[in-house]
Structure 1
Amino acid sequence: MAIRITCINKDNGYHENPNVAITHLGWVEEQTGEKGKSTMLEIYNWIKEKNGKAYVKDGSGDKVKVITAETSNGTKYLKTVADNTVRNNLLALPEC
């Protein structure tokens, strides 16, 4: 099962890495139509531990894979694989 991340929520604090500000992600499983909203850590663990697949659609409608990452301090977060744009595809999503 793969989910498309459709929106995000962020906290309002200062973050050296803006991706760690993401607290929740809205998603849809396009084959079944199931929709949900999960915490960043729930999606992180689903990808990392259960081999879950997630993606966003970029400005051209292409799928861009969402992957797990950690800061040098060990803070877990999500980001997209680099593509041919400098735009941050995950942070560019609308608020849920």
Structure 2
Amino acid sequence: MARQIKCITKLPNHQDRHRRIQAVGGDGFYDSEDAAIANVKRDANYYWVVEQGKSVWVKIAKHDGREYLKTQNDRFLPDNLLSLPECR
């Protein structure tokens, strides 16, 4: 069951690009970053993002031993997730 991420919640102090996302949301769901990472580990096609008409899958990356969410390289925008609006 693929879910389209339509918004994110950033951490209050989000200067580090590898530690910015607190949660992701969409139609009928709002998942913490930890829950979202676990979901992607179970199913690599669990979340996707549309940005300016292009769809890309969300994946897990690692920086300094910490896992975080990012999108597959689509040669379009480097931070598709970070460009989404804040969840309300």
Q: TM-score range by the shorter chain?
A: 0.7 to 0.9
Normalising by the residue count of structure 1, what TM-score does the alignment of the two structures yield? 0.80
Bigger fraction of residues in helix: 1
TM-align CA RMSD: 1.5
Normalising by the residue count of structure 2, what TM-score does the alignment of the two structures yield? 0.86
Q: Is the 8 A contact 1:19 1:91 kept in 2?
A: no
CA distance in 1, matches of 2:31, 2:77: 26
**What is the aligned residue count?**
86
Q: Percent identity?
A: 31
1:49-88 equivalences in 2 (<5 Å) = 50-51=42-43, 53-59=46-52, 61-72=53-64, 74-88=65-79
Give 2:22's aligned residue.
Answer: 23
SS in 1 for 2:40: helix
Structure 1, gaps ≥5 residues long: 29-34
- State the 1:88 CA deviation: 1.4
Structure 2, gaps ≥5 residues long: none
Q: Which runs of structure 1 show a deviation greater than 3 angstroms over 4 or more consecutive aligned residues?
A: none
- State the 1:8 CA deviation: 0.3
